[in-house]
Amino acid sequence: MRIALSFALAAAATPLAAQVGHPPATSPYREIVNGHSFTAVSGYFAGGGGEFGIGPHNGFVHGVRYDLRAGKTIQFGFSAAQGQLPRYVIDPFVSLDRRVVGVFDQRTTFADATVQLNVTGAKTWHRIAPYTGVTFGIALGKDVAADTSGYDFGTKFYFAPQLGTRVFLGSNLHLRAELRGVFWKVNYPFSFAEEPVGEPGTPESPNAVIPDGRLDEWTVSPWVQVGLGYLFRF
């Protein structure tokens, strides 16, 4: 009877032992401090600036970001950034060989809000915390004096789906790496649909910058960001 009871207890203990996970000291998962974070970010804003390259693109952008975690999975971020982004200036009034005036820097300011979905919830996995999300924001471009075409970048609304990760160097200090795809609309001036005074075309062979009259287009610009952040509680 004692032998049978011993076998029964051993059999019951076997699945319990199999269910034991990693000891806390060796677990690949670590809790993320539930609080706020500030991050200094730098990145490269790429893309083509639209068909004619007159939208700001291909330059470095620097800024700051504030994050608040609303739960285990959802996090909200708010950021502001600025950069001198090159763009082409097109003169639609002159002869075709003089149409491209050159490349000029345009100071561009970004302000946005992000809804972030933390893939591993409130924990890191081997100190890595991947995420996805979407950003909604506005961009403001300073006028370029050399552009006399009537083009005005003005204030531009944009949205940007994203993928990224944080790598925790400790319980508070972390690195952030993120890839965004920024969608915004480029609006061309009416002068782009008119025949140039310097070299007018014909109805059969127009010389307007945009002969079909379509004066806007959606563009997407990749934006790579890296940053160093600190997470804390108030």
What pLDDT is attached to residue 175? Answer: 97
Of 30, 78, 84, 38, nearest in space to 57 by CA = 84
In this predicted structure, which of 22-36, 105-119, 184-198 has the lowest mean pLDDT? 22-36
Given a cut of 90, is residue 144 above it in pLDDT? yes
Alpha helices in the chain (DSSP H): 2-19
Averaged pLDDT of the chain = 90
For 52-106, how does the pLDDT look when each residue is reduced to its tens digit (9 = 90+)? 999 999 999 999 999 999 888 999 999 999 999 999 999 999 999 999 999 999 9
pLDDT, residue 22, reads 53
Contacts of 114 (CB under 8 A, 6+ apart): 76, 77, 78, 79, 133, 134, 135, 136, 162
pLDDT digits (tens, 9 = 90+) for 98-141: 999 999 999 999 999 999 999 999 999 999 999 999 999 999 99
Number of residues assigned to the chain? 234
Average pLDDT over residues 46-57: 95
- pLDDT category at 234 given cuts 50, 70, 90 is low
CA-CA distance, 90 to 148, in Å (whole number)? Answer: 9
Instruction: Give the chain's domains with CATH numbers.
Output: 28-232 (2.40.160.20)
Check whether 230 has a pLDDT greater than 50. Answer: yes
| Portion of the chain with pLDDT greater than 90, in percent | 80
Ranges assigned E (strand) in the chain? 29-31, 36-45, 59-69, 74-90, 100-118, 123-125, 128-141, 155-168, 173-187, 216-232
Alpha-carbon span 42 to 229, nearest angstrom: 12
Which pLDDT band, with edges at 50, 70 and 90, does 219 fall under? very high
Return the closest-CA partner of residue 222 out of 160, 155, 151.
Answer: 160
pLDDT band at 29 (very low <50, low <70, confident <90, very high): confident
The reported pLDDT for the residue numbered 161 is 98
More confident residue, 227 or 18: 227
Amino acid at residue number 226:
V
